[in-house]
């Protein structure tokens, strides 16, 4: 049964609302002041809260603010009841997080319509949230075993081979096997680090207290950093001849490590998902508001639906492509840019061209070149 909490210091109003709600089939509970209302909300976790705005000691705004600090009550639909609603008070209440406003006395139809609208919206949000969570779980559960198995298989196979031929192997053969083990270990280490970072970023985005742990700082001369990253990745994939760079400098309002991580993931994807012999361009477009870096490749590209899914870790078309990590790398870059006030934008024509735009906010005293 749907439970509705009524918080009002006027006994006649409180009891009238309680009786009306019970007649309409709701389970109604009531509190005579703000403090009692907060306690009852925490104890019963009602589906909707109707709260008087003007109450002694603890008014409606204070009740709302207190409930928002508790994860159990923070998302409960909250409707203000007031006899003296002005445009400014309504606007203030809505900016504080209230879901609706009802002016006393209100009709039964108005009250029930407001409750129905809040319940419907809350249910829709819960459904969407559950769907996104299930999609994330499904994506991770399907990809994790494969992601870990690929480098682990290379490491184990190489180690077993080394044991089998240890007595007769030449130094060259041992070196080759050791390099394979080293390569697989590096891939596995990066994968584990990325999953840990993605989890941390998700917590920061969902928890205001966690956001206080976000590192602060600025990055000077990002041009040099980006060129260094691009050249290293191009050499690793034997694509040095494909790299085209045209960058200018600025001061970014984002720490060095975070800029490095964003650019590493985006540039690595550009090489990973395009063919050798096709260009990978890295261009900057700084202005007085932001520093934009475009990473352009002529690879397989992305559909509109895939671009829309960048916010969560989704591995695109795993059944057709064996390269690992595109969803996770883009998700990390997206999260980092969002947390620091930047943006990740993608324009793509499948199998023709993809342009990934990393937009960083500018730091204080920046001097564009």
Residue spans in the chain of domains classed CATH 3.40.50.2300 = 3-106
The CATH class given to the 3-106 domain equals alpha beta
d(CA 247, CA 283): 5
- Checking if the pLDDT of 184 tops 60, the result is yes
Is residue 169 helix, strand or coil? coil
- Compute φ and ψ for 281, nearest 5 degrees: -100, 140
In the three-class reduction of DSSP (H, G, I as helix; E, B as strand; rest coil), residue 31 is classed as strand
User: Out of 2.40.390, 1.10.3470, 1.10.287, 1.10.150, which CATH number does the structure's domain 137-212 have?
Assistant: 1.10.287
Residue of 331, 355, 336, 345 whose CA lies nearest to 143: 331
pLDDT at 47 over 70: yes
Ranges 202-206, 264-268, 329-333: which has the least confidence: 202-206
Whose CA is closest to 203, among 41, 329, 74, 335? 335
Residues of the chain with CATH 3.30.565.10: 215-361
The pLDDT of residue 285: 86
Percent over 70 (pLDDT), the chain: 82
- DSSP string for residues in 193-252: HHHHHHHHHHHHHH-TTGGGGS----EE-HHHHHHHHHHHHHHHTT-GGGEEEE----EE
pLDDT category, 321, cuts 50, 70, 90?
very low
pLDDT in tens, 75-89: 899 998 887 665 555
Q: What is the pLDDT of residue 301?
A: 78
- Structure-block tokens of residue 92: 């203030």
What percent of the chain is predicted at pLDDT more than 90? 43
Average pLDDT, the chain: 83
Lowest-confidence region among 105-114, 149-158, 246-255, 304-313: 304-313
CA distances from 38 to 6, 28, 92, 368 (A): 11, 15, 20, 52
Mean pLDDT (whole number) for 251-258: 94
Tell me where in the chain the CATH 1.10.287 domain(s) lie. 137-212
Q: Which fold has domain 215-361?
A: Heat Shock Protein 90 (3.30.565)
């Amino acid at each position: 049964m749907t439970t509705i909490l009524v918080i009002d210091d006027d006994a006649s109003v409180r009891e009238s609302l309680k009786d009306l709600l019970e007649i309409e089939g709701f389970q109604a509970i009531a509190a005579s002041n703000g403090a009692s209302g907060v306690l009852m909300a925490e104890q019963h976790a009602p589906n909707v809260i109707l709260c008087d705005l003007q109450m002694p000691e603890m008014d409606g705004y204070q009740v709302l603010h207190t409930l928002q600090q508790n994860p159990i009550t923070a998302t409960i639909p909250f409707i203000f009841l007031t006899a003296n609603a002005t445009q400014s008070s309504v606007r203030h209440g809505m900016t504080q997080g209230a879901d609706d406003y009802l002016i006393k006395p209100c009709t039964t139809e108005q009250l029930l319509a407001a409750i129905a609208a809040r319940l419907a919206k809350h249910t829709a949000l819960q459904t969407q949230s559950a769907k996104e969570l299930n999609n994330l779980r499904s994506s991770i559960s399907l990809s994790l075993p494969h992601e870990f198995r690929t480098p682990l298989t290379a490491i184990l196979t190489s180690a077993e081979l080394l044991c089998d031929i240890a007595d007769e192997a030449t130094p060259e053969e041992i070196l080759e096997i050791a390099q394979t083990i080293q390569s697989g270990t590096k891939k596995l280490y990066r994968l584990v680090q990325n999953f840990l970072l993605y989890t941390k970023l998700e917590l920061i985005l969902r928890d205001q207290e966690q956001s206080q742990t976000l590192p602060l700082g600025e990055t000077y001369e990002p041009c040099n950093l980006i060129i260094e990253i691009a050249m290293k990745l191009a050499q690793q994939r034997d694509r040095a001849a494909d790299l085209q760079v045209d960058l200018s400098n600025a001061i970014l309002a984002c720490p060095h490590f975070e800029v490095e991580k964003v650019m590493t993931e985006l540039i690595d994807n550009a090489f990973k998902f395009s063919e050798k012999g096709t260009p990978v361009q890295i261009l900057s477009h700084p202005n007085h508001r932001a520093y934009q870096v475009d990473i352009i490749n002529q690879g397989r590209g992305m559909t509109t639906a895939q671009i829309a899914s960048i916010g969560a870790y989704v591995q695109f078309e795993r059944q057709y492509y064996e390269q690992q990590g595109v969803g996770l790398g883009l998700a990390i870059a997206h999260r980092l840019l969002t947390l620091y006030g930047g943006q990740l934008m993608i324009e793509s024509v499948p199998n023709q061209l993809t342009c990934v735009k990393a937009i960083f906010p500018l730091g204080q005293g920046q001097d564009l070149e």
